[in-house]
């Protein structure tokens, strides 16, 4: 896609940035994708390259060692990586749209000075909200934070936590008083190696298998008062605001996956000959990939629009929910259709299509299911109608 593309309006430097990320993904990530998927684990040799390219601290200011770029730039990086491997994409997504963003907005000056340089250069971050009984009902969590002198003691279990195997810093949400409901939820910064904190079972997943998803176990895990992120009882606000931004990241991830699937299918159809010509020339095939391309372009516009609005300080919650909802639906359809366009080989593990097909399913589930996105959209649309 050229910089003159009339629909996406990517500036030249943004285009160059996305292209550089895509080049890295193809050269460094691409050769490892199948092996990482089979092993269900990230090849940690990729981490230095991700840090060196500035992808783990896109919005972190230069004074802390980050790239000092925009949220939109982070979204472009997530999209480009997902074109090659959504598993690596989600690692970068969570690092930027959830972890770094939460610290940039809510951390004290001391916390920023301590953690942002590490996140920009060497530490992976993880965002620990979900529990066995707390998924869509995010604030039904039962992990407790008990005051003990000038310390806090955390007890509980977190489930489905992304980046858990690689992370050195965890943003853990716990309640200081169950009777307070959501007003008791508080965020804590917990470092790997803290006594009482451990990584539990790693999930064996259908897709994005190289992205670690694990249980966290907190048993009398003691942290200092300086581990509180924001204020006591403000964890619900931190969680809601970061997840709103994170949904744009998931939209970008699903967008990149869709484009990666189409790119591979187009290349295959140009090479595959039947009845004396490339199969992509047949109208029956052409109409199918034309529809896929159209849906991808619509998803791209929605994701980019939500990211631009966020950067501009405009309301974006509705647009973020729409982008996540639509892009995840498009990814599922695009991966399925492109697999079919590749015929029998698309169904084998020798080609990337079956993996992208498996990877696509998670988009409608994590960081807010499609039903939760619809509920958010409906609420805002109704409120907008009442003001007209």
Q: Please count the CA atoms within 13 angstroms of the CA of 68 that sit on its side-chain side.
A: 5
How many whole angstroms separate alpha carbon 367 and alpha carbon 273?
42
Q: What is the pLDDT of residue 10?
A: 64
Instruction: Supply 278's token pair.
Output: 């490339």
- Short-list 117, 121, 137, CA closest to 129: 137
175 band by pLDDT with thresholds 50, 70 and 90: very high
Q: Which pLDDT belongs to residue 66?
A: 97
Q: Is the pLDDT of residue 3 over 90?
A: no
User: Is 367 noted as a catalytic residue in this protein?
Assistant: yes
pLDDT, average across residues 352-362: 98
Query: What average pLDDT does the segment 168-191 reach?
Result: 96
| Closest of 299, 308, 289, 306 to residue 328, by C-alpha | 299
> What is the average pLDDT across 107-118?
98
pLDDT at 9 over 90: no
3-class DSSP state of 296? helix
What is the SS3 assignment for 188? strand
| Listed residue (79, 19, 134, 21) closest to 307, CA to CA | 79
Q: Average of pLDDT values for 345-358?
A: 96
Residue 343 has pLDDT above 80, yes or no: yes
Q: Is residue 13 predicted with pLDDT exceeding 90?
A: no
How much of the chain exceeds pLDDT 70, in percent? 97
Average pLDDT (340-356) is 96
137 DSSP β-pair partners: none
Task: Kindly compute the dihedral angle of the four CA atoms of residues 78, 160, 348, 30, in this order, to the nearest 10 degrees.
Answer: 30
126-233 architecture in CATH? Beta Barrel (2.40)
Residues written for the chain: 388
Per-residue pLDDT for 1 more than 60? no
Confidence (pLDDT) at 53: 96
Confidence of residue 5 (pLDDT cuts 50, 70, 90): very low
CATH 1.20.140.10 maps onto the chain at 237-386
- pLDDT tens-digit series, residues 65-106: 999 999 999 999 999 999 999 999 999 999 999 999 999 999
pLDDT of 279 over the 70 cut: yes
Q: Phi/psi at 41 (nearest 5 deg)? A: -155, 145
CATH 2.40.110.10 intervals, the chain: 126-233
Which burial class, exposed, middle or buried, applies to 63 when counting CB atoms under 10 A from its CB (0-12, 13-18, 19+)? exposed
Query: Model confidence at 30, in pLDDT bands (50, 70, 90)?
Result: very high
387: buried, middle or exposed (CB in 10 Å: 19+, 13-18, 0-12)?
exposed
User: According to the model, what pLDDT value does residue 219 have?
Assistant: 98
- Please state which architecture CATH assigns to domain 237-386: Up-down Bundle (1.20)
Distance of CA 108 to the CA centre of its chain: 25
215, 319, 367, 386: the active-site residue: 367
Residue pointed to by tokens 């939500």: 306
**φ, ψ of residue 213 in degrees (nearest 5):** -130, 110
* Predicted confidence (pLDDT) at residue 6 exceeds the cutoff of 70: no
Q: What is the pLDDT of residues 366-375, one digit of tens each?
A: 999 999 999 9
How far is C-alpha 329 from the chain's CA centre?
Answer: 16
What integer is the mean pLDDT of 47-60? 97
Write the CA distances from 124 to 159, 283, 307, 387, integer angstroms. Answer: 18, 47, 23, 43
pLDDT for position 15: 86
Beta bridge partners of 298: none
Judge whether residue 350 has pLDDT over 70: yes
DSSP state of 27: I
Q: Please name the residue ranges forming H helices in the chain.
A: 12-24, 33-39, 46-52, 71-82, 86-93, 101-106, 109-121, 235-271, 283-312, 317-341, 343-346, 353-360, 370-386
Is the separation of the CB atoms in 94 and 74 below 8 Å?
no
- Candidates 1.10.540.10, 1.10.3720.10, 3.20.20.140, 1.10.10.10; correct CATH number of 12-123? 1.10.540.10
- Residues of CATH 1.10.540.10 domain(s) within the chain? 12-123
Cα separations (Å) of 29 from 93, 193, 307, 354, 371? 16, 29, 25, 18, 33
């Amino acid at each position: 896609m050229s910089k003159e593309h009339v629909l996406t309006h990517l500036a030249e430097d943004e285009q160059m940035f996305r292209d550089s990320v895509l080049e890295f993904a193809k050269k460094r990530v691409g050769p490892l994708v199948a092996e990482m998927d089979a092993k269900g684990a990230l090849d940690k040799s990729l981490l230095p390259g991700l840090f060196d390219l500035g992808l783990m601290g896109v919005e972190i200011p230069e004074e802390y060692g980050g790239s000092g770029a925009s949220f939109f730039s982070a979204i472009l990086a997530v999209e480009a990586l997902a074109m090659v491997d959504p598993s690596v994409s989600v690692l970068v997504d969570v690092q930027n749209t959830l972890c770094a963003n939460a610290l940039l907005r809510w951390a004290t000056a001391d916390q920023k000075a301590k953690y942002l340089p590490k996140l920009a250069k060497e530490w992976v971050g993880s965002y620990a909200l979900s529990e066995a009984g707390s998924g869509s009902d995010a604030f039904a969590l039962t992990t407790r934070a008990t005051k003990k002198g000038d310390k806090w003691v955390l007890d509980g279990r977190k489930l489905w936590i992304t980046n858990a195997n690689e992370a050195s810093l965890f943003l853990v949400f716990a309640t200081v008083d169950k009777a307070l409901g959501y007003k008791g939820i508080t965020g804590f910064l917990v470092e790997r190696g803290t006594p009482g904190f451990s990584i539990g079972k790693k999930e064996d997943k259908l897709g994005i298998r190289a992205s670690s998803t694990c249980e966290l176990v907190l048993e009398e895990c003691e942290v200092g008062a300086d581990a509180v992120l924001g204020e006591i009882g403000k964890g619900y606000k931190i969680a809601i605001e970061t997840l709103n931004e994170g949904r744009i990241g998931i939209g970008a991830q699903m967008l990149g996956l869709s484009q990666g699937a189409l790119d591979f299918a187009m290349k295959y159809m140009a090479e595959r000959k039947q009845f004396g010509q490339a199969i992509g020339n047949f109208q029956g095939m052409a109409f199918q990939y034309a529809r896929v391309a159209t849906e991808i372009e619509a998803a791209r516009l929605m994701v980019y629009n939500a990211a631009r609005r966020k950067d501009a300080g405009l309301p974006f919650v509705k647009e973020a929910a729409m982008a996540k909802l639509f892009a995840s639906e498009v990814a599922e359809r695009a991966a399925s259709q492109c697999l079919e366009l590749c015929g029998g080989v698309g169904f084998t593990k020798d080609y990337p299509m079956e993996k992208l097909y498996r990877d696509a399913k998670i988009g409608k589930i994590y960081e807010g299911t499609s039903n939760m996105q619809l509920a958010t959209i409906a609420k805002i649309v109704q409120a907008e109608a009442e003001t007209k």
